[in-house]
Amino acid sequence: MELTNAEIFNSCKPMEELLTHKLPVKTSLEVARMVQKLNEKLIPIQKVVDGLIKTHGKKNEKTGQFEIKPEDENFPKFSEEYGELMLGTVEVVFKPVKLPPSFEIEPYVVMALAKFITG
């Protein structure tokens, strides 16, 4: 299935959150495998995001980390390049994970994982 970088980026944390819930063993394994596949695609995306922040942002003297804020002079350029990155696509081969019918999931998680889970 072709996924945008944004779909991958936005799904990783909610997918990892599923691993914190008690699920049937088979389902837990399927979720863990899905997380692994998504993380493989997320790592290069995250490296590019970090590079954009370093290029366009400023170093926070307290934390030593680079950051960018909407009010920063370079934010429009960062935003443009970030948007371009998130529109990129990648092919990921997977079968959606079937969650148990009784499993309750928050609506924001369902939205982020719509392509990755079935109920």
The pLDDT mean for the chain works out to 92
Alpha helices by DSSP H, the chain: 5-18, 25-56, 75-87, 107-112
Q: Is the pLDDT of residue 119 over 90?
A: no
Render pLDDT for 36-83 as a digit per residue (tens, 0 to 9).
999 999 999 999 999 999 999 999 999 999 999 999 999 999 999 999
Tokens 């999931």, located at residue: 105
Q: How would residue 109 be classed by pLDDT, with cut points 50, 70 and 90?
A: confident
| Radius of gyration, CA atoms only, the chain | 17
- The reported pLDDT for the residue numbered 47 is 97
CB burial string 51-80: b at 16+ within 10 A, e below:
ebbeebbeeeeeeeebebeeeeeeeeebee
Mean pLDDT for the stretch of residues 20-29: 91
The model's pTM: 0.84
Q: What is the pLDDT of residue 10?
A: 92
